[in-house]
Amino acid sequence: MTIQKNAAKKTFNKKRLLMVLPMLVAFALGMFLFQGIGQDPNKMESSLIGRALPQFTAKTLASPATQVSQNDMIGAPALINVWATWCPTCRAEHEFLNRIAAQEGVKIFGVNYHDQRNAAQQWLQDLGSPYVFTVFDPKGALGIELGVVGAPETYLIDAQGIVVDKLTGELNDRTWPPLREQYLSLLQGTN
């Protein structure tokens, strides 16, 4: 009789565990998903925030004979926009970049990421260029140094080349206001 009670007790415990386990898994999954609610998917932390731009020397997209470095990007607050012709979101944000460069005088540097020189040059010829200059980064070496996770990404730097903020994804009318506020604040600090 004791053996039957122990066997029945084990079966009862297994059934109880099988009933409770899905509820525990669902609860844990719900808590995990709940943490993401209200988070901005374009706001990804960067280890570069608060640090100087990484040192680099690279050729420009416009001219393989012209070399630039991080020093060519300092002196005034600016945006550094990582883009590529294979990136549909980059195309979606390009008109906006042209607009803020022309209408608001925003200084923007480009980083053409994992792309073909001819295709990228044609893109800028067809769509216009909002960039002071574009670094040609065909192998993604500068992208790795910046911590790029995908195009487009936009970095806000101050006049000394310190990274102030980073936006992952499209820069547009919805995502620009917080960056614009910081940009204008930096401009006031340099005047």
In a domain, 52, yes or no: no
In a domain, 138, yes or no: yes
Confidence of residue 47 (pLDDT cuts 50, 70, 90): confident
For the ranges 20-29, 33-42, 144-153, the maximum mean pLDDT occurs at 144-153
Q: Is the pLDDT of residue 62 over 80?
A: yes
CATH code of the domain containing 61: 3.40.30.10
Confidence of residue 189 (pLDDT cuts 50, 70, 90): confident
Query: What was the pLDDT predicted at 6?
Result: 60
Q: For residue 41, what are its two tokens?
A: 């998917």
In a domain, 51, yes or no: no
Q: Where are the beta strands (DSSP E) in the chain?
A: 57-59, 67-69, 78-83, 108-113, 134-137, 153-157, 163-168
Mean pLDDT score across all residues of the chain? 87
Q: What is the pLDDT of residues 144-174, one digit of tens each?
A: 999 999 999 999 999 999 999 999 999 999 9
**Domain around 13:** 1-39
In a domain, 45, yes or no: no
User: Do 93 and 175 share a domain, yes or no?
Assistant: yes
In a domain, 50, yes or no: no
User: Do 143 and 85 share a domain, yes or no?
Assistant: yes
- Residue 154 near residue 113 (C-beta atoms within 8 A): no
User: Do 16 and 89 share a domain, yes or no?
Assistant: no
User: Do 149 and 89 share a domain, yes or no?
Assistant: yes
What is the count of structural domains for the chain? 2
Q: Where are the beta strands (DSSP E) in 75-152?
A: 78-83, 108-113, 134-137
Q: Give the burial string for 65-83 (b: 16+ CB within 10 Å, else e).
A: eeebebebbbeebbbbbbb
User: Do 119 and 150 share a domain, yes or no?
Assistant: yes
User: What does the DSSP 8-state code read for residue 100?
Assistant: H
Cα dist. 119→112, 123, 142, 150 in Å? 11, 6, 19, 19
User: Do 140 and 63 share a domain, yes or no?
Assistant: yes
Q: Is the pLDDT of residue 43 over 70?
A: no
The pTM score is: 0.78
User: Do 101 and 171 share a domain, yes or no?
Assistant: yes
User: Do 62 and 34 share a domain, yes or no?
Assistant: no
In a domain, 166, yes or no: yes
Q: Is the pLDDT of residue 74 over 60?
A: yes
C-alpha atoms less than 13 angstroms from C-alpha of 153 in its C-beta half-sphere: 21
In a domain, 44, yes or no: no
Mean pLDDT of 57-83: 98
**Residue % of the chain over a pLDDT of 70:** 75
User: Do 12 and 65 share a domain, yes or no?
Assistant: no
User: Do 28 and 76 share a domain, yes or no?
Assistant: no
User: Do 184 and 121 share a domain, yes or no?
Assistant: yes
Mean pLDDT of 12-26: 64
